[in-house]
Amino acid sequence: MSELYYWLYLNKILFAPLTAFLTAQLLKGLLESLKNKKLHWERFFEAGGMPSSHSAMVTALATAAGLSYGWSSSLFTITAIFSVIVMYDAMGVRRAAGIHAKILNQILEEMGRQDGQQNVKALKELIGHTPSEVAVGALIGVMMAAVVF
């Protein structure tokens, strides 16, 4: 098992994004717990919210590729484009899906009250990100890659 940890540590292009992802998820859970003054374990493992762990992971990957292979390398270019797509999706499609889920949950709740049914499972609403959540995630990604390198 120690060989796995050693290999992971040596593979900085893998280690930087994993570290960024875990850091963002830890911060997400802590921020939500502080905000509500109650420990919310589920937020440590869920998508959506502040900061974006997806943004942290992909920007750490792109930064690690740039630091390893150069800022004009094909690998950096590919990972940078991939990062932009992921962050755009988080702010666009996934955020819109969360807004739709919220509206559908309100409709289902109202229909359930009218029909006397209260056991309808709610859709997950917090799945996307605001631009600030994506920006903070991206900043975490760049910082974690810089720390690893």
φ/ψ region of 49 (left if φ > 0, alpha if ψ in -120 to 50, else beta) reads: left
Tokens standing for residue 86 = 């992921």
Domain residues of the chain, as ranges?
A: 2-87+131-148, 93-127
**Percent of the chain clearing pLDDT 70 (strictly above):** 91
Q: What per-residue confidence (pLDDT) applies to 92?
A: 80
The pLDDT tens digits of the residues spanning 47-69 come to 778 899 999 999 999 999 999 99
Q: How many helices (H) and strands (E) does the chain have?
A: 6, 0
pTM for the whole thing?
A: 0.81
Q: What per-residue confidence (pLDDT) applies to 146?
A: 98
79 burial class (0-12, 13-18, 19+ CB within 10 angstroms)? Answer: buried
